[in-house]
Amino acid sequence: MHKLNNIKITAIATCLAACLLLCDSAVALDHVTFVRDGKRRRVDGRLVVEAKDGGLMLTARDGVIWTIPPEELIEHSTDDTPFKPLSRDELSMQILAELPEGFDVYGTTNYLVFYDTSKGYARWCAALFERLYRAFSTHWKGEGFKLPEPEFPLVAIVFSDKDSYERFARAELGDAVSSIIGYFSLRTNRMVMYDLTGIGRAKGRGSSSLTAITKVLSRPQSAATMATIVHEATHQIAYNRGLHERYSDCPLWFSEGIAMYFEMPDLQSKSTWRGIGKVNTPRLIRFGKYARNRPGDSLATLLTNDDRFRDTSTSLDAYAEAWALTYFLIKQRGAEYVKYLRLLSQKKPLIWDTPEVRRKQFEEIFGDLDELNVEFLRYMGKIR
């Protein structure tokens, strides 16, 4: 166990105090009882962080991460039972019990898709995610980064329509839910979305054929929504296959850059994913516009601070620049990119680097930022 001081906590985990102990409890099971919203709960899991004020961060056996402030805590005990994720059956039963009436589960090698829309849509989603999952693994293996197996099955929850999705997701997203068509939750480790075909249950469960779904979602007007779903699915795979750890200080340009590198949908091929590493045209166009008035310190602000992503007036430009930088580094500086990926994949939850440390770690691998900036702009200027 490591003792840490003066750790900056961001908004995602404000309930934990500034002094933390990082826990290495792979061989222990923690039992925590606490009260939230007037309800008494008990969670069994693996302690990730224990704050000096008694606050806890815990990974439960279903993969959900709980942050429990000291004022909610009733009891915490540990025994030497090894931590073991729930089995697929146990997890399925638990999630079905948490969801509204009418849900079913469709399982594939790596996924559990919970759905109350047509079984056809659940099968279609699972096939899409499995294909992305395989292509993702092949890509990083080819780059020299071998991915660990996921600890938990990958879970997606698919609602039949936007209304029921919004009712469910509002607890997590608040009012932003109306502008978000699907998301990966760092807290629950699950994707949540709804049937985008609009066919859903209208024609009865099981009636939507895979071909009919592909046809509807291949329309040009579905391109942006499909990109969002693939983007979120990529986040889930990246977090579950060891590219980054949930709640660690992986810079947003990096995790978002990867999601955008993979987000170009490829609904037609059977086994591969031709969208990987293709020019992401909407992001390129946005970056081209941004580049006309781009500040000289743009790379520095992108790398060292996530604020540009969190401010709605700057976020689209930040995303575009993150895509462009990721594209440039993977294509031109592949070996260094993987070295940097390896460094970031080791980062532990709730330890926040200063801007200076972020810049130093980046420059130690990629060299001087100003020189890289010149090379980056020259390269991107030629991409069409």
Residues 48-77 that bind Zn ion (CB under 5 A): none
> In angstroms, what is the minimal distance from the CB of 181 to Zn ion?
13
Residue closer to Zn ion, measured from CB, 72 or 256: 256
CA atoms within 13 A on the CB side of 226: 23
Site mask for Zn ion (CB under 5 A), range 74-113, x = bound: ----------------------------------------
- Of 125, 84, 133, nearest to 106 (Cα)? 125
Residue closer to Zn ion, measured from CB, 116 or 263: 263
> In angstroms, what is the minimal distance from the CB of 260 to Zn ion?
8
Residue closer to Zn ion, measured from CB, 195 or 256: 256
Residue closer to Zn ion, measured from CB, 114 or 319: 319
Assess contact for 240 and 224: CB atoms under 8 A.
Answer: no
Strand partners, 104: 115
Give dist(CA 253, CA 268) in Å, integer. Answer: 29
Residue closer to Zn ion, measured from CB, 60 or 192: 192
Is 193 a binder of Zn ion (CB under 5 A)? no
> In angstroms, what is the minimal distance from the CB of 231 to Zn ion?
5
Site mask for Zn ion (CB under 5 A), range 218-257, x = bound: --------------------------------------x-
> In angstroms, what is the minimal distance from the CB of 298 to Zn ion?
20
Output the residue with the shortest Cβ distance to Zn ion. 259
Is 259 a binder of Zn ion (CB under 5 A)? yes
> In angstroms, what is the minimal distance from the CB of 55 to Zn ion?
27
Structure tokens at 59: 């990974």
Assess contact for 188 and 64: CB atoms under 8 A.
Answer: yes
> In angstroms, what is the minimal distance from the CB of 160 to Zn ion?
25
Residue closer to Zn ion, measured from CB, 72 or 263: 263
Residues that bind Zn ion (CB under 5 A): 256, 259
